[in-house]
Homo-oligomer: A and B are copies of this chain.
C-alpha cells in the first residue's frame, strides 16, 4: 500500500490529501526543520509535535560488547568502538532503551511515515523484535553489503561484511512512501534489491578530529542515506534522525531537497555536523529531484478518447495479435462477442484472466500496423499537462 510520488506537484501530494486533516494539522503546528537539537533524543522527540515528521532514520548504539583490545596481524591496534554511549548494563537495559526511543519516535512520526533503523547482529534482533511488538510493520530488511569491510584479523569467524537496515511503516495498512521507479532507475532499470553494495565511509568524506583520527567511530556513508531518502521520501519531506552524530542524514537530506531535524548529545559532533551541512550545496534545479512515476500520472477514462472523437463509436479494437476483437460504444464501454464493459473488464474476460490493463491490451488499426490505444491516452495527457501550466 505504498504512496507514490506525484509528477505534477513537487510537494507531497498523495491523492487523498484533500480528505486528510494531516496537512491542516501540519500547518497549525509547523515543525521547525533544518535544525540540530542538543540533548537526549527521547526527551526531545517527546517535546516535538506528534505525527509531524515524514521519515525517521535511526542509527542507534549497537551495544557491541567488545572485549579487550584488538590488534591486526602487523600488531597495529584496531580503533574500535569504546565510547560510553555504546555501553549498556545488560541486554534488558538495552531493550528498555530501545523501546523507549522507539515509542518516542512512533509518537512523532506521521501515520503514513516511514522508519529506518540500522544495526548489526549485536542489536538488530532486539530492535526488529521491538518494532514488531510495538505495531510497526516491517516492509523490508535491507542488507548493506560493504564493499570494503574490515577483515576478521583473528580468522575466527566470517568477515563481518554487512550491516542490516530494517524499513517499516507504522501499521500494516499505512500508505507508506516508496519511490519504486526512482529505485528502479537508480539500478539501471531493474528492481532495486534488498541488498545494497556500497563502500564504507572513508577518505575525504570521513570527518577527522584534530589529531587526524576519525572524528566519529561509526560515521555512515552519505551514499547509504542518499538511497534511503530517495527511496522513501519526497522533496520537501521532513526527516528526523534521533542519533544524528556528525550529520550524515542532514547532509544527504539537504543535498536531496529534504528537510532534516537532528538530535545529538555530543557538542563536538553537533559542531562538526553544522559545519558539514553548511558546506553542502543544495541542488538549484528542483526539477532534477523529481522522480516521475507512471502511477501518479493523471487518470484518463477511456470515454474521453471517444468523447474527443479520437475513436468513433463502432471502431474496432483488437489485441496485439488480432485474436480478440471488440467494438467501441458511445459511452466508452466496449463489446466483444460475449462480453460488455470497460476496456479492462472486457480485456480480462476475453482472456479469462483475473485482470487486464485495457490501455495496453487493446489496439487499433493504423494503416498497415496496429497501435496500442495507450498512445491515445498519451495524447490526452500531453494536452492536460500543457493546460495546467
Contact = CB atoms under 8 A, between A and B. Distances in A.
A99 to B, nearest CB: 12
A146 B148 CA distance: 21
Contacts of A160: 140, 194
A373 to B, nearest CB: 13
Interface string A149-166: 101100111111110101
Contacts of A183: 158
Interface in A236-293: 256, 283-285, 288-289, 291
Interface stretch (A11-19, A45-53, A120-128): A120-128
Per assembly, the copies of the chain total: 2
Interface residues of A, number: 107
A354 B387 contact: no
| Interface hub of A223, A304, A307, A330 (most chain B Cβ within 10 A) | A330
Contacts of A331: 179, 181-182, 185-186, 230, 291
A332 B185 contact: yes
Contacts of A303: 185-188
| CB-based closest 6 A-B pairs | A125-B128, A186-B303, A188-B301, A161-B193, A121-B141, A182-B331
Contact of A126 (B1, B129, B139, B306): B129
Interface stretch (A30-38, A105-113, A195-203, A362-370): A195-203
A303 B183 CA distance: 9
Contact of A195 (B71, B162, B298): B162
Interface of A: 1-2, 71, 75, 91, 120-122, 124-129, 131-133, 138-143, 145-149, 151-152, 155-162, 164, 166-167, 178-189, 191-195, 197-199, 205, 221-223, 226-227, 230-231, 256, 283-285, 288-289, 291, 298-299, 301-304, 306-309, 312-314, 327-333, 342, 351, 353-356, 383-384, 386-388
Contacts of A179: 331
B139 A157 contact: yes
B191 A151 contact: yes
